[in-house]
Amino acid sequence: MARQRPIDPRVAAARVVHQVAFKGRSLDPPFAAPTKVQGHPDANASTLARDARLSTELAYGSVRHYFSLRNLVDQVLDEPYAGLDSLVSSLLIVGAYQLRHTRIPSYAAVNETVAATRSLRKPWARKLVNTVLRRLSGIAIRADDEEARFDHPTWLIEAVRRDYPGSWEAILDANNSRAPQSLRVNCQHQSRQAYQATLKAAGLDAVPGMVPESLLLASPVPVHRLPCFAEGAVSVQDEGAQLAAGLLAAQPGHRLLDACAAPGGKTFHLLETRPDVEVLAIDANPERVAAMQKECRRLGFDPSFVQTGDATGLDWWDGRSFDRILLDAPCSGSGTLRRHPDIKLLKNATDLAAFQAIQRKLTATVWQTLAPGGILLYCTCSILNDENDAVLEHFLREHRDAQPVALDDVSWGTATRYGRQLVPSKGGPDGFYYALVARRKARRKARRAARTP
C-alpha cells in the first residue's frame, strides 16, 4: 500500500483561490489547512504548523493580488486565461504570487508549483505551468489595465475615486497591505499596561493603540500564543471597531440593544468597560449566535443576553425601550479589504443598492425601539458614501424626531456631513464609519389656562 503524504500547501492554496475566484466562496470561515494524514510519520506538529502558515499566506496573498497576477499570467499564456482550466489557472496565480511577492527562491517556487499539478490530478498541465512561471521573469503589468495596476475591480476603483478624489490611490494602496494585529485588553482582568508587560514577558512586543484598551502587536501571532487568551484576558479586534463602545457613552442602568451583533466584539468591549448596563444582543443567523455565545463563555459573560432575532422586524422585541442602540449594519466591507481580500472578487456594484436597502430598513425598524432621549449609533465597516452618509441622509429626512449628534470631540478620522469616517492606512485601523443620532423627546403642548367669564 502506497504511503500517503500530507496535503501540499500550494495544492491547498490553489483550491482555495479556485473556490473564491470561480465558485464565489468566501475565505471566511478559514479554509481547511493541511492536516496530518494518518500513518504518515513525517506529518508532525511543526511540519503541519509550517505548512498551514504557508498555505494561508499563499491563498490570501494570491486573492489579495489576484488582478495583477492574472494580468501577468495572461501575458505569457499562449491561450487566453479565460479559456484555461480553472483549477490550473488558480495554481498559476499561486505560482505567480510566490515569484512576485514572497522570498521563496524562484527555483523552489517553480518546481513545487509544477509538482502540485500531480496532486491536483492535472498532470497534463505540468509543462504548461513550468513554461508560464519561467516566462514571468521581467514581465511588467500592462499600464492600460487599471484593475491590475491597483489590484481592485473597476467598480470599486471608481467608487473610491468618486468619494475620495484627493486620496483614492493611497486608500487602494493601503487596501493591498497587511493589517496589523490589534488586541483589546479586558480591563476586568487587568490594565492595558499590565497586559503589555505580560506580553513582554512572553517575548511579544506591543505598543498602546488609540483606544484605552487597545494594543498593537509588532508581529501577528496565533491566539494560542497570547497569554491568558483562553481565560478571557484579551481579544483580537481591530482598533477601528473598538471605537464603538466609547461613542455609545452608556451610563449605569442603561438598556442597550446590539441589533446585528455577531461576532460580538463591540458589545463585549462595552460590557468589559461598562458591566453595569443591561444588554440585548441579537443576530439573524443562529450559527453566528452560537459562536457569539461561545465567546461569551470565554470572556466570562452569561450568554443568555445573546439571542437569535432579525432586526428587520420586531418579533424579538418585548416592548421595553432602549436607551442606546448599536446598529453595526451589514455592508460591502470595503473598509476591511486588508483582512478580507476576497471581497474584491465576490462583491460588485449592484450589491451596494441591496446593502443600502437593508441598511435603511434596519435603521427605520430599530428606531421604533429607542426611547425618547436615547441615542442610536449607526456604523459600518465601509468607506463608501452610499452606505454611510447617504443612508443617514435618507433616515433623517424620513424621521422628524431624529437629530444628528456631532462628533466634534474626537480626533480620529475625518468629519463627514453626519458622522466620522476612518479609511484604511498602512499600519493603522480598518475603514469604519460612525454616526450618532438622538431621538428627540416629545414636546409637551402648552396648556392654556381656562378663563372664567
Nearest to 65, CA basis, from 98, 40, 35, 28? 98
Residues 6+ positions from 112 with CB-CB distance below 8 Å: 8, 10
Residue 381 appears among annotated catalytic residues: yes
H or E element: which one contains 359?
Answer: helix 349-367
Nearest to 8, CA basis, from 41, 38, 43, 39? 43
Please tell me which residue in 260, 296, 379, 381 is annotated as part of the active site. 381
Cα(32)–Cα(56) distance, integer angstroms? 9
The phi, psi pair for 110, rounded to 5°, reads: -70, -50
At 267 the three-state DSSP class reads: helix
The DSSP bridge pattern shows strands 255-258 and 278-283 to be parallel
Cα(446)–Cα(65) distance, integer angstroms? 65
> In terms of residues, how long is the chain?
453
Label residues 138-173 b or e (16+ Cβ within 10 Å = b).
eeebeeeeebbbbbbbeebbebbeebbeeebeebbe
Name the grid cell of 313. 422586524
> Annotated catalytic sites, by residue?
381
